Amino acid sequence: MDRVLILHYHEIWLKGGNKNYFLSRLIAAVKRALEGLPASNLRFVSDRLVLEPQDEAAIPAMLERLKRVFGLAYIALARAVPAELEAMSRVARELMEAANPQTFAVRAKIAAHDFDLNSMQLERALGQAILDHLRAQGSKVRVRLNGPQVTCRVEVVAGQALLYTERVEGAGGLPAVTGGRLVVLLSGGFDSGVAAFKMMRRGAHLSFVHFFSNPSESRGSSRPVVEEMLRVLTPYQFTSRLYLIPFEPVQRLVVAGARESLRVLLYRRLMARMAREIAGAERALGLVTGDSVSQVASQTLHNLAAIDHGLGVPMYRPLAGDDKTEIVRLARQIGTYQISCEPFEDCCPRFMPRAPAIFSNPAELAEAESALDIEALVTLGLENALVRDFKFEAGAVSEREVIPHRYQKLLARRRAPAQPAPPSAVSAKL
Ligand code: ATP
Ligand code: MG
């Protein structure tokens, strides 16, 4: 078969001395994504990746999987021919005859040192050949350099020319698992799934935490929604861990002990505190949420500042400046949109305030928290967590329940009675 897949990377170009590290991670990700599919001879050719599908029928599946590999800018299925004008011209004519456009352009990139023509000369020669061929068949096709209906692309690499008329956009960003770990607060709604995607695309490896309560009869539980979302998100980073935390017992105690208007903010701080503990166990460097500034009352700048105050962990809000329409567009693209459309309840609406505070501040929240046993609430949530691991292998996501060792140690530490301060600390205070 003369078909090859060309995988172009983009941002890795910006990397200086670390470029080889990123490229090796990219290769590993491509191999892992294609596990079980008949592709061979993956290699670098003049600063792009090229591989050979062994079975034409598997090409759509390969493209589908490659679209989820971060670090790839675009992917093209090309015909490979010797880098000779006659062979190129024949394939270009065939490709354009199949496309049958009204307007077209030829774009050439020459990455071989020993090729005789420059890119403009090659574009002209192939353009003329295509034009003559299609016109001879009765077409009224014209060349249009700006915004042509079809572009015939030619890449001349060492000893070969690769030609194609279509390419699919890649996921962009940086290869998976090149940037340290983060913990995402995943609600099952549109926003936090998209926030997760954006941080994964920057190379972060994510663990997920979801807080759920018992749903009312009319709406479903959020747990299957979030688990489904993990099945969609995991192929991008290959493995994921999900912590499921029953939140209703915690909510009840907040409702009993705090002013109604501050409830949501106190929930958010409790969620962040629990996620921070999980981040410690997961060796993660920060938390991610789907907050978008001023989308709802809890997301005013005042309230976000009050929520974060004193928590001492970096909070990433990759959707802070996005409109809902942008978020929904990305959710559709990732494949989480339909999942979030299911009616579900994450945290019990009975415990939501009628009139939430819009401009809170750290002092007000600190006062409200002083009436609650915050550490006990955090432990109450954490000790009832269920943990599930998801793994993407050979095109399918498998999952299983786990009891992570470091999490067990965290729980043991939190349950242990507080140790008296060491004498040196006491005397230092005196
Ligand atoms: P989303 O669409 O992600 O639910 P939202 O716009 O509905 O976001 P909120 O419900 O106020 O906003 O939540 C803000 C953020 O807090 C969420 O994006 C998510 O990161 C986190 N969060 C909220 N509820 C939960 C939950 N039940 N479990 C985990 N994280 C949550
Ligand atoms: Mg929500």
pLDDT one-digit tens code per residue, 169-224 = 999 999 998 999 999 999 999 999 999 999 999 999 999 999 999 877 778 889 99
Q: Is 149 within a domain?
A: yes
pLDDT classification of 347: cutoffs 50, 70, 90: confident
Q: Is 132 within a domain?
A: yes
Backbone angles phi, psi at 66, to 5 degrees: -70, -25
- Give residue 189 CA to ligand 1 midpoint distance, Å: 7
Q: Which string of DSSP letters, residue by residue, matches 275-327?
A: HHHHHHHTT---EE----TTSSGGGSHHHHHHHHTT--S-EE-TTTT--HHHH
- Report the CATH number that the domain containing residue 364 is assigned in CATH: 3.40.50.620
- 190, 101: one domain: no
- 366, 326: one domain: yes
In this prediction, residue 218 carries a pLDDT of: 73
Q: Is 247 within a domain?
A: yes
Residue 1, judged by CB atoms within 10 A of its CB (0-12, 13-18, 19+), counts as exposed
Looking at 134, 169, 204, which one is the last position of a domain? 169
- 165, 206: one domain: no
C-beta separation of 223 from 244 below 8 A: yes
Looking at 169, 190, 205, which one is the last position of a domain? 169
Mean of the per-residue pLDDT values for the chain? Answer: 94
Alpha helix (H) residue ranges in 147-289: 190-201, 222-237, 248-257, 263-281
- Percentage of the chain exceeding pLDDT 70: 96
pLDDT classification of 259: cutoffs 50, 70, 90: very high
pLDDT classification of 287: cutoffs 50, 70, 90: very high
In the block, residue with structure tokens 């600190």: 366
Q: Which residues line ligand 1 (CB under 6 A)?
A: 185-187, 189-192, 210-211, 271, 289-291, 295-296, 298, 346-347
Q: Which residues of 241-250 are buried (b: 16+ CB within 10 A; e: fewer)?
A: bbbbbbbeeb
Which ligand is nearest the CA of 211, by number?
1
- Give residue 143 CA to ligand 2 midpoint distance, Å: 51
- 347, 278: one domain: yes
The average pLDDT across 322-345 equals 94
- 142, 39: one domain: yes
In this prediction, residue 423 carries a pLDDT of: 65
In sequence order, the β-bridge partners of residue 207 are: 183, 241
C-beta separation of 156 from 110 below 8 A: yes
- 99, 230: one domain: no
Which ligand is nearest the CA of 222, by number?
1
- 272, 353: one domain: yes
Q: Which of 13-17, 156-160, 366-370, 371-375 has the lowest mean pLDDT?
A: 13-17
In this prediction, residue 371 carries a pLDDT of: 97
At 379-426, the pLDDT tens digits run 999 999 999 999 999 999 999 999 999 999 999 999 987 766 666 544
Domain that holds residue 122: 3-169
Give, using CA atoms, the residue closest to atom 31 of ligand 1: 187
Q: Which residues of 393-412 are buried (b: 16+ CB within 10 A; e: fewer)?
A: eeeebeeeeeebeebeebbe
At 82-112, the pLDDT tens digits run 999 999 999 999 999 999 999 999 999 999 9
Which are the contacts of 360, defined by CB distance < 8 A and separation ≥ 6? Answer: 262, 265, 302, 303, 306
- Give residue 375 CA to ligand 2 midpoint distance, Å: 24
Residue among 279, 417, 263 at smallest CA distance from 352: 263
Total residues found in the chain within this entry:
430
- Report the CATH number that the domain containing residue 11 is assigned in CATH: 3.30.2130.30
pLDDT classification of 345: cutoffs 50, 70, 90: confident
Residue 85 one-letter amino acid: L
Give, using CA atoms, the residue closest to atom 11 of ligand 1: 298
Mode of pairing for the β-strands spanning 103-110 and 142-143: parallel
- Give residue 187 CA to ligand 1 midpoint distance, Å: 5
- 145, 190: one domain: no
C-beta separation of 144 from 104 below 8 A: yes
100 phi-psi bin (left φ>0, alpha ψ -120 to 50, beta other): left
* Count of CB atoms situated within 10 Å of the CB of 429: 7
In this prediction, residue 349 carries a pLDDT of: 73
Q: Is 322 within a domain?
A: yes
In this prediction, residue 393 carries a pLDDT of: 96
Q: Is 119 within a domain?
A: yes
- 192, 310: one domain: yes
C-beta separation of 5 from 54 below 8 A: no
Q: Ligand 2 is a single-atom ion; what residues have CB below 5 A from it?
A: 187, 189
Mode of pairing for the β-strands spanning 205-212 and 167-169: unpaired
- 113, 205: one domain: no
CA distances from 231 to 22, 193, 340 (A): 25, 12, 13
The number of the ligand 1 atom at minimal distance from the alpha carbon of 193 is: 3
- Give residue 233 CA to ligand 2 midpoint distance, Å: 18
- Give residue 268 CA to ligand 1 midpoint distance, Å: 9
Q: Is 309 within a domain?
A: yes
Looking at 169, 204, 220, which one is the last position of a domain? 169
Question: pTM to 2 decimals?
Answer: 0.93
Is the pLDDT assigned to residue 429 strictly greater than 50? no
Give, using CA atoms, the residue closest to atom 7 of ligand 1: 189
Q: Is 150 within a domain?
A: yes
At 41-71, the pLDDT tens digits run 999 998 899 999 999 999 999 999 999 999 9
Number of domains into which the chain is organized: 2
- 164, 194: one domain: no
- 164, 204: one domain: no
Is the pLDDT assigned to residue 267 strictly greater than 70? yes
Q: Is 423 within a domain?
A: no
